[in-house]
A and B are shown apart, each in its own frame.
Chain A
Amino acid sequence: MKIRKPGRSQKIDLDMTSMIDIVFQLLIFFIMTFKIVLPEGDFNVRMPTPSNQTETPPDQIPALTLHMTADADGLLASLKLGERPFTDDANGSAFDKLRGHIIGLVNDEGGPGTASEQEVELDCDYDLQYQHVIEAITAISGYIKNGQRYKLIERIRFSPAKEK
C-alpha cells in the first residue's frame, strides 16, 4: 500500500490576473453576441407559376375558395368558404367554425386526420392584414388535439391579388 507523504504543503501562488482578464473578455463577447431566437415555424406551400399550370384534370375535385374581405382598417370583415359564411359568435370564432367545417369535409372522404387531396384557394382583399391569412391557413391545414397534430387540407394557393 502506498503511503501518502504527509506535510508537503507548499502553497503555490498563481497569478490569476491574466486568466481573469481573458475570461472576462470571453464573457463580454458571449453576452454581446447573445441573441434570443424566438421559435418560428413554417407553412409549406407549393405554388407553381399560374401560367404554366396545366388544365385541371377532370377527375380532380375543384378547389374550394375561401373568400376573406377586409374592413377599412384591414381587419377581417367576412369569411366565406364558397357560399357558406362563418361569423364570430358566442360559440367560437369564425376560424374555429371554419376548422370544424373542414374537419367535417375531410372526415367524409377518409378517416380522421387524413390529409385531403382537396385544394383551397385563398381569395383575400388587398388590404387584409396578413395575420388573418395565417389564421385561415392554420384553420385549414390542421389542428392539434391532445398534443397530437392532425392534418386537414395542405394544398393551398392564392388567387391573384387585385389592387382596388
Chain B
Amino acid sequence: MDMPLPDPSILSRKARIVDRLRAILPHDAVIDAPAETRAYDCDALTAYRCQPLAAVLPRTTAEVSAILRLCHEEGVPVVPRGSGTSLAGGALPTADCVILGVARMNGVLETDYANRFIRVQAGRTNLSVTGAVEADGFFYAPDPSSQLACAIGGNIAMNSGGAHCLKYGVTTNNLLGVTIVLMDGSVLQIGGAHLDPGGLDLLGVICGSEGQLGVVTEGTLRILPKPEGARPVLIGFSSNEVAGTCVSDIIKAGVLPVAIEFMDRPCIRACEAFAKAGYPDCEALLIVEVEGSDAEIDEQLALIRAIALRHDPVEFRESRSEEESKRIWLGRKSAFGAMGQINDYICLDGTIPVSALPHVLSRIGEMSRSYGLDVANVFHAGDGNMHPLILFDANKPGDLELSEALGADILKLCVEVGGCLTGEHGVGVEKRDLMPVQFTPDDMEAQMRVKDVFDPQWLLNPAKVFPLGATSARRGA
C-alpha cells in the first residue's frame, strides 16, 4: 500500500519540534525516543506499520489546543489516536507525523439522569461509559466488539456500531454534542444536552470523519434506561439461503430484535472448536435477541419461533436461564478470537441490502474457491453488515496480497448489489483505494470540500479515507 513520502523538511526539524512540544506540555506527555514511539507504529490493522516522529499524550482540551496550534505553525501532520483498535488503519502514523493520543483523557465530566446524558472525555473506553451509569440502571448503547478497549473519541471518529444497533442505532444516533479542537487550535462546542444542534448539522458530519476534521476531546452521549431483561434464541438452518429468508421474515413480521447475528458453517465450526458453546453442526446459525419483561420476551420469541418453524430449522434453542444465554453468545463473541487461533485473517466490513444476503453468500463461496482461500462469515444480519473473515498464512509469501485482492473483490460485490464498502470499521487506509468503486469523483469532491473547510492544509490524519491520487493536489497545497 502506498503512503506519501515523509516531508524531509519536517524530519530534519524533529529536534526543534519535540523541544517546542516539551515547552508547552508536561514532561511525561511527549514521547520521541524510537524505542518508545514504536508502541504507536500501528493500530489493529497490524499488517501496516510506521513509526511516527513523536507521540503526545495530553490530559486536557487546552493541551490538545496548544499541540494542534504548534503543529499547525510547523506544518506537521497530526494523527489522532484513541485506543488504537481501528481495524482499518485509521490511526496508522506517517513518519513525519505527531501521534496525538487521548488515552489519558478518560474522565467522566457530568452525569445527568433527568436529562439522560453523560459527558465524558474522549479517551474513556466505551464499556466504562456504561460502567459509570449501570449501577443506576442506565447504559450507553453502541457496543463495538472492541468495547473493552476502544475509546469514545475513536468511536466518534469512526461512527462505530455494534451488535445491538439494529434497535439502538450507531454512534451518530447516540451523540448529542462534542468539544472539538480544529487543526489551528480553535476549540468549538457543538450541541450539548439539547436535541438537534442548531444550524447546519456539523455534529453529524464530524461523527464518522475519521479524525480528519478535528480532534474530539469531549463527547456528550445519550444514555438509555436498561431494559428489564434480554434473552437470545439460537436457530440452526441447513442452508444460508433459508437462514437469510428467515431474517427477512422476522423483520417483516414487525418484531424488532435488538440483534440478529448470522454465522456460516466455517465460522460455526471454528467457534465450536474454540469456545465449546454447544452449537449444532449446521450450515447457518442465527442468534436473535429480544428485550423486555419476561412476558414481553415470551411474546416476541413465540412469534419468532412460529416464523422460524416455517423454514424447517435443524435446531431452535431458546435460552431459559442467564447461563444458557451466556453460552449462546459465547461462540459468537469469541468468533474473531477463534479464527485468530487457527489462522491469520482479514476481517471485512461491507454492508449489503438484507435481500441480497443469499446471493452474496453464494458468490463469496465461489470467489473463495477460485482464490483458494477459506472465508468464514459472521455478521449482523438484521442490518446487512457482513464480516467475512478471509483466512490466510502470513508466513507464506504473497498470501496477504492474495487475501487483500479477494477482500477487494468481495467489497466490490457488496457495492454492486447496492451496499457499501464499510458498515462500521471505517475506510482508513485499508479501503481508501476502493472509494472510487462506490463514489464518483464528484461524490468524493463534495466530501473533500468539507475537509477543505475544517483543515485547509490537510494536516489531520493524512493519507486516509480518500485515494492518494484524488488528494495529492490538496495535500501539496
Pairing of A with B: no
The residues of B with any CB-CB pair to A shorter than 8 Å are none
